[in-house]
Amino acid sequence: MMEPGLYHVLFISTALFFIGVFGFLTRRNLITMLMSIELVLNSVNINFIAFNKYVWPNQLDGLFFSIFVIAIAAAEAAVAIAIIINLYRSHQSIDVENAEDLKF
């Protein structure tokens, strides 16, 4: 096994990204879908950090980006959960299959 470097980290982030995507596509519960999105966001964060470290260590932009992503993810999670709870109140369910009023 070779020394882990940029490619290894990218492999992990890619894998995590598509795990998240897979989860988003298959889960029917809104909360679990939200969790999948968190995974996706995290994989992006990993990328930022990895590129910052292995390609452009002369600046800190990647780091800042991931900080902002984290902040926005927090906001997003909060809003999403508020929506989910509201949905639960009106539909007595948070199954995504039932929340399909937005059509045609």
If DSSP codes are grouped into helix, strand and coil, which group holds residue 29? strand
CB of 78 to other proteins, least distance (A): 5
> According to the binding rule CB under 8 A, does residue 91 interact with other proteins?
no
Report in angstroms the alpha-carbon separations of 43 from 6, 35, 47, 90.
14, 13, 6, 33
Q: Site residues for other proteins, window 42-81 (CB under 8 A)? A: 42, 45-46, 49-60, 63-64, 66-68, 70-79, 81
- Kindly state whether residue 28 participates in binding other proteins, applying the rule CB under 8 A: yes
Question: Which distant-in-sequence residues (6+ apart) come within 8 Å of 56 by Cβ?
Answer: 62
Q: How far is the CB of 80 from other proteins (least distance, A)?
A: 9
Supply the minimum distance, in Å, between the C-beta of residue 70 and other proteins.
5
